[in-house]
Amino acid sequence: MSRPDHSTIAAEEENISSYVDSCVNLESYFSIALSAEVIKEMVDNLSSRPCGLVLGHKEDVLRVLKENILTEEKYADDVKEFEESGAAGDSAVRVGPVLVGVVAAAASRHNCAARPDCISKIVKSIGGKAKLDPFPVLYVTPLSETITALAVANGVARGSVKGKFESKSGLAQKQYFKSGSDIKLAFVEDPLSAEERVVLTSTMHAINLVKRLVDTPTNLLDTVTFAEIASKWCAKWNGKDGREVHIDIVKGDELRQQGYGGLWGTGKAAQYPPHLVTLSYKPSAAVLPDSTKARKAAFVGKGIVYDSGGLSIKSGAGMCGMKHDMGGAAGVFGAFLALVESHTPALVSCVLCLADNAVGPKSQRNDDIILMKSGITVEVNNTDAEGRLVLSDGVYHASAELAYTPDLVVDMATLTGAQGIATGLNHAAIYSNTQAAEDAFQRSGRQSGDLCFPVLYCPEYHKKEFDSKVADYRNSVTNRGNAQVSCAAQFVGNNIPDSYKNHWVHVDMAYPVTADGIGTGFGVSLLVDVVTKKLNSL
């Protein structure tokens, strides 16, 4: 796969090459250690100031400081001052030579008890204060069914600045590795197996990559670059310890020729062509002796690398931040990589629907009628409702064209502005054809820290919003007051063939994809938990 000759000048090509390489080499940023090792490192480095970060509920932090780390009499006043201070905050505070982060103990029934939102803010507040590399982080509140290691790791990875995309003055070339320390995370009451530690580190690596992808501007992360990153990742892992990791790419005119009208129409006007990228993973025979009995999952991600709105063009202010419109594709890609790296005993596929919704001579128009891969015809009445078009081709491909029929199909997208109204800034909206999958995702959200909440599933009320006099459907609703998130999800679901009888979940994460305009890595922990903890029971 090569970029068109006219793409960029040589210096920019070198910059893009450096960016791609940086996205394929992230594994060293995080590690999971034993608590005794991390405590010893902190004690041995008390003169370093800070010697590490202790995280957890205040009473647990205080206990570990007194009993394990700041045991010398000279630290008694520091510990007493902390003991008499206020409760949780969003920043790490210094207690003698130790940084301390007090995590809120309160969490409502729709929140994650581990409070990764608090953890990420505390870790982020450390910034350049971390002098040791790797920097020791010790989580001291006992783990449980609700306070999980995965949610804690999620919060730490979200808050880490290592590997963050940033381009400021003096960093014009190869600016992609943010300065900062690696993180060595441990849990003071450590019930984790070696396999669980691998899952945690793999998930943290993937969250870090997803954050970077979401924050990257489109002049670096176009459809060609995204596909190149995916291709290099597959080459890196295929054959490793018996894994089979393969990639198939359909792009440009090939999409039109093969009938992917939604993806082709959305991206055909852009400088770089739309891509349908399909990744597949099969574990080794040692991990999965009988693949015929394996559980199977397929992820589909909306990968609009930039959304101008097309001819239904957004305002200038409305376009700012539209580089984030590939957050769904980034999230499912990251989850796929985490499952591959941790050698999960399941068959997993990942479909990336990559396009730039640009304006040009070949732009799709309102009033165009397009033929979707599912055979459905769609009258375009809003070119800025493009995400559902690319996803529709993707979910048909995932549910009808893979080498196997998945037990679970998940599509993930920054699909609607209405998602924030329906479920807020922190909870993704989920829409599922089965109660079992809906319940599983809601539980996984609370246990992984990637929160989600169900919206109304009532297709008989939603389908009619897309009635057209000249096609099977229009692509935008008639009544914006009628459950927009559910309607948009159902448009995607209309393209799943009747022959598919298994679970389907739509995840609209338009708002959780970022926090304060910066990528969160949302989606990785959620899907890792679903596949590793819930898939077998669906």
Average pLDDT score over the chain:
94
The answer on pLDDT for 276 being more than 90 is yes
Residues 335-357 have a mean pLDDT of 99
The answer on pLDDT for 386 being more than 50 is yes
Give start and end residues of each alpha helix (H) in 223-300.
223-237, 253-257, 261-267
Distance, in Å, from the CA atom of 175 to the CA atom of 179, rounded to the nearest integer, reads 10
- Backbone Cα Rg of the chain: 23
The answer on pLDDT for 135 being more than 50 is yes
Q: Are strands 135-139 and 98-102 parallel, antiparallel or unpaired?
A: unpaired
Strand partners, 248: 278
- Contact between 495 and 396 under an 8 Å Cβ cutoff? The reply is yes
Q: What is the 3-state secondary structure (H, E, C) of 22-68?
A: HHCCCCCCEEECCHHHHHHHHHHCCCCCCCCEEEECHHHHHHHHHHH
How would you class 500 by CB atoms within 10 Å of its CB: exposed for 0-12, middle for 13-18, buried for 19 or more?
middle
The answer on pLDDT for 177 being more than 60 is no
pLDDT digits (tens, 9 = 90+) for 114-130: 999 999 999 999 987 88
Q: How far is CA 8 from CA 251, 257, 362, 379, in A?
A: 20, 28, 22, 36
The answer on pLDDT for 185 being more than 90 is yes
Q: Which residue has the tokens 């990637």?
A: 450
Q: Are strands 518-519 and 514-515 parallel, antiparallel or unpaired?
A: antiparallel
User: Smallest Cα–Cα separation from 245: which of 348, 127, 358?
Assistant: 348
**Cα–chain center distance at 156:** 15
- Band of the pLDDT at 147, cuts 50, 70, 90? very high
Distance, in Å, from the CA atom of 21 to the CA atom of 483, rounded to the nearest integer, reads 42
pLDDT digits (tens, 9 = 90+) for 26-49: 767 899 999 999 999 999 999 988
Q: Are strands 296-307 and 408-413 parallel, antiparallel or unpaired?
A: parallel
Q: Which residue has the tokens 């700012």?
A: 320
Q: Which residue has the tokens 């999952």?
A: 297
List the Cα angle 339/342/344 in 5-degree steps.
60
The sign one gets for the Cα dihedral 527, 528, 531, 537 is negative
List the Cα angle 492/493/497 in 5-degree steps.
120
Distance, in Å, from the CA atom of 187 to the CA atom of 142, rounded to the nearest integer, reads 8
The answer on pLDDT for 73 being more than 90 is yes
Residues constituting the chain: 538
- Give percent of the chain with pLDDT exceeding 90: 87
The answer on pLDDT for 4 being more than 60 is no
Reading the block at residue 500, the tokens are 């598919």
- Band of the pLDDT at 8, cuts 50, 70, 90? very low
- Contact between 87 and 172 under an 8 Å Cβ cutoff? The reply is no
User: Please, which residues have CB within 8 angstroms of residue 2's CB and are 6 or more apart in sequence?
Assistant: none
Residues 54-70 have a mean pLDDT of 97
Distance, in Å, from the CA atom of 314 to the CA atom of 251, rounded to the nearest integer, reads 26
- Band of the pLDDT at 161, cuts 50, 70, 90? confident
pLDDT digits (tens, 9 = 90+) for 292-326: 999 999 999 999 999 999 999 999 999 999 999 99
Half-sphere exposure of 378 (CA within 13 A, CB side): 38
The answer on pLDDT for 282 being more than 70 is yes
**Measured in Å, how far apart are the chain's first and last C-alpha atoms?**
38
- Contact between 396 and 353 under an 8 Å Cβ cutoff? The reply is no
User: Please, which residues have CB within 8 angstroms of residue 227's CB and are 6 or more apart in sequence?
Assistant: 1, 249, 251, 275, 277, 352, 354
The catalytic residue among 3, 314, 443, 464 is 314
Active site residue 388: yes
The sign one gets for the Cα dihedral 420, 423, 424, 425 is negative
DSSP category for residue 534:
I
One-character DSSP codes across 186-220: EESS----HHHHHHHHHHHHHHHHHHHHHHS-TTT
Strands in 473-474's sheet, in edge-to-edge order, are 369-371, 377-379, 473-474
pLDDT digits (tens, 9 = 90+) for 203-255: 999 999 999 999 999 999 999 999 999 999 999 999 999 999 999 999 999 99
pLDDT digits (tens, 9 = 90+) for 349-363: 999 999 999 999 999
Q: What are phi and psi of 503, to 5 degrees?
A: -80, 140
- Contact between 247 and 234 under an 8 Å Cβ cutoff? The reply is yes
Reading the block at residue 169, the tokens are 């003055």
- Residue 115 identity (one-letter amino acid): R
Q: How far is CA 338 from CA 1, 197, 243, 303, 393, in A?
A: 24, 12, 13, 19, 25
Reading the block at residue 487, the tokens are 């309607």
Distance, in Å, from the CA atom of 351 to the CA atom of 335, rounded to the nearest integer, reads 12
DSSP category for residue 73:
G
Q: Which domains, and CATH codes, for the chain?
A: 33-192 (3.40.50.10590), 223-425+464-537 (3.40.630.10)
pLDDT digits (tens, 9 = 90+) for 467-522: 999 999 999 999 999 999 999 999 999 999 999 999 999 999 999 999 999 999 99
- Contact between 186 and 149 under an 8 Å Cβ cutoff? The reply is no
Q: How far is CA 434 from CA 437, 458, 473, in A?
A: 6, 11, 24
- Band of the pLDDT at 172, cuts 50, 70, 90? very low
Q: What pLDDT does residue 92 have?
A: 95
The catalytic residue among 184, 295, 388, 446 is 388
User: Please, which residues have CB within 8 angstroms of residue 75's CB and are 6 or more apart in sequence?
Assistant: 95, 96, 97
Q: What pLDDT does residue 7 have?
A: 52
